[in-house]
Amino acid sequence: MDMDNSINIALVAHDNKKKDLVEWFKWNREALKGKVIVCTGTTGKIIEKEFSGDEEFYRVIKLKSGPLGGDQQLGAMISEGKIDVLIFFWDPMQPQPHDVDVKALLRISVLYNVPTACNRSTADYIISSPLLKENYVPQKSEFHDYTEREI
């Protein structure tokens, strides 16, 4: 997985929110040009299918489906500094069989100070921010006290 110096945007959507995410992607297709799009499995397949022929504008990296470990793969990428923005349209009205993975993913995005949108309005604010066009580097969290604690 070659993730050069591009801006890497993770897209995730629960089943009932996949249509919303595709609409959001269509609406923001110009702002997403040149970005690396990292998706969990099913979301990635939908994005690829919907936007086939646009490969010169979008590079899509598909992980496993969320319930099959994709959420955890994405969390690992966040902890390794490989994700710049997380757009996660999750469904608060539908219980998820992998809810613990979803919570872990959201927790890790906050822990590593990754801009995270859980709904369309917030995603619109993030994608339209002038900071996305700059070489913005969010403040890194310091874990020295934790990693160097006496055991």
Tens of pLDDT along 31-42? 998 899 999 999
Catalytic residue positions?
A: 71
What pLDDT is stored for residue 3 in this prediction?
A: 53
Cα 14 from chain centroid (whole Å):
13
Q: Is the pTM of this model over 0.85?
A: yes
CATH of 8-147, one of 3.40.50.300, 3.40.50.1380, 3.40.1710.10, 3.40.190.10: 3.40.50.1380
Beta strand pairing call for 85-89 and 8-13: parallel
| CB 102 within 8 Å of CB 26 | no
Answer yes or no: is pLDDT of 58 > 80: no
Domain coordinates in residue numbering, the chain:
8-147
Alpha carbon of residue 11 to chain centroid: 4
Q: Please state at what angle helix 70-79 crosses helix 99-111, rounded to 10 degrees.
A: 10
Contact 47, 13 (CB under 8 A): no
* Separation of alpha carbons 24 and 150, rounded Å: 47
pLDDT at 2: 45
